[in-house]
Amino acid sequence: MSRAVGAGRPWPLGVTIDGDGVNVAVWSASATSVEFCLFDGDHQETIALTERDGEIWHAHVSGVGLG
């Protein structure tokens, strides 16, 4: 499944649910890349976090919610 992925926000850290999807923000002092993995039964999806502010990688992923 192809999801809309936007820049998102570097805060708060972790995964935050909003009305359209989730914001993902992860801190790492030494990462060269970060991926957000979604699991639903036998289905797995990996989304690269390409936006970076200092040591915080972030993205907004539409169509993702609780569960």
Nearest-angstrom CA–CA distance, 58 and 67: 21
DSSP string, 2-31: ---EE---S-SSEEEE-SSEEEEEEE-SS-
Residue 2 has pLDDT above 90, yes or no: no
Among the four given CATH numbers 3.20.20.140, 2.30.30.60, 3.40.640.10, 2.60.40.10, the one describing domain 5-62:
2.60.40.10
| Residue matched to tokens 């935050």 | 16
Distance of CA 39 to the CA centre of its chain: 13
Tens digit of each residue's pLDDT (9 = 90 or more) over 16-62:
999 899 999 999 999 999 999 999 889 999 999 999 999 999 999 99
Q: For the chain, what are the domain ranges?
A: 5-62
Cut 0.75: pTM above it: yes
Tens digit of each residue's pLDDT (9 = 90 or more) over 46-57:
999 999 999 999
